[in-house]
Amino acid sequence: MRIILLFFLLFIELNTFSQDYFPDFRNKKEALLKVSQKDIRADIVTFALQGVEENIHQDPLPKLPLTGFDKTFMQFEGSDIRYLQFQNSTIKVKITTDAFDSTKNKISRITGHVVKINNRPFYGNYGNKPTTAIKEVLVIINKDTVAIPPVAYNDLFNIQFSYTDKAGIERSKNGVYLSDDKRKIYIYLLNKDSSGGYEVTWVIQDKQYLRRVLDYNILQ
């Protein structure tokens, strides 16, 4: 009787484990620690959470003013005469989100958990079906629009543009930063979620999209 009971308990435990376990296909290839460009890394550590330990003596980079946001968008806009190629120019950045449409996306599941969307590992409450997706990242320098490829953001979901602190004040850690070498713009988003959260920085250099830097599980 005891043997049967032990086998029964073992079966329940293994069955529960198989239902709860699912693989994590996300990778660290785009992490801050993998960035080889010293100038970009030195800039990003001044504002990214992942760079806190490296940012010892660097001064913060100048930021564009936040000009508006709600649950579906966040916008920054301003001028910086320090920029050689942007003198007297207005820089505008707007990130827009929309509801996630399951009918237009291929969802891959393992043991009931969402592990890939459109054959890509994704970020934003990993393991669960997203509720929102980034619709567009708009960057305009004067009248020139900088093309941000969808591959730079179509695996990022459930963006929250703000949070409420313990005092009940709505705040945001997101920002658009301008490099001291007068060549680069950094668009930074920090997203908190139940899987640990992620932060992403899109790097614009000489009015061209260069790359992104992405870290996850940073708030566990």
Instruction: Give the tens place of pLDDT for each residue, 28-80.
Output: 999 999 999 999 999 999 999 998 888 776 788 999 999 999 999 999 999 76
What count of Cα atoms within 13 Å lies in the side-chain half-sphere of residue 175?
17
Cβ-contact 198, 160 below 8 angstroms: no
* Chain position carrying tokens 């920002």: 175
In a domain? residue 170: yes
72's tokens: 């579906």
Which pLDDT band, with edges at 50, 70 and 90, does 1 fall under?
low
Q: Helices (DSSP H) in the chain: which residue ranges?
A: 2-20, 38-44
Q: Which domain holds residue 91?
A: 29-216
Q: What is the pLDDT of residue 165?
A: 80
In a domain? residue 106: yes
In a domain? residue 13: no
In a domain? residue 19: no
Which pLDDT band, with edges at 50, 70 and 90, does 190 fall under?
very high
In a domain? residue 5: no
- Note the Cα 46 to chain centre separation in Å: 17
The strand ranges marked E within 60-173 are 66-69, 73-79, 90-99, 107-110, 113-117, 132-141, 144-146, 163-164, 170-171
Amino acid letter, residue 186: Y
Question: What number of other Cβ atoms are within 10 A of residue 183's Cβ?
Answer: 17
- Count: domains in the chain: 1
pTM: 0.86
Cβ-contact 204, 213 below 8 angstroms: no
CA dihedral 142, 143, 149, 153 (to 10 degrees): 50
Q: Name every residue whose Cβ is closer than 8 Å to that of residue 198 and which is 6 or more positions away in sequence.
A: 123, 124, 156, 191, 214, 215, 216, 217, 218
Cβ-contact 93, 134 below 8 angstroms: no
Q: Name every residue whose Cβ is closer than 8 Å to that of residue 12 and which is 6 or more positions away in sequence.
A: none
* Chain position carrying tokens 């009248």: 143
Q: What is the pLDDT of residue 11?
A: 38
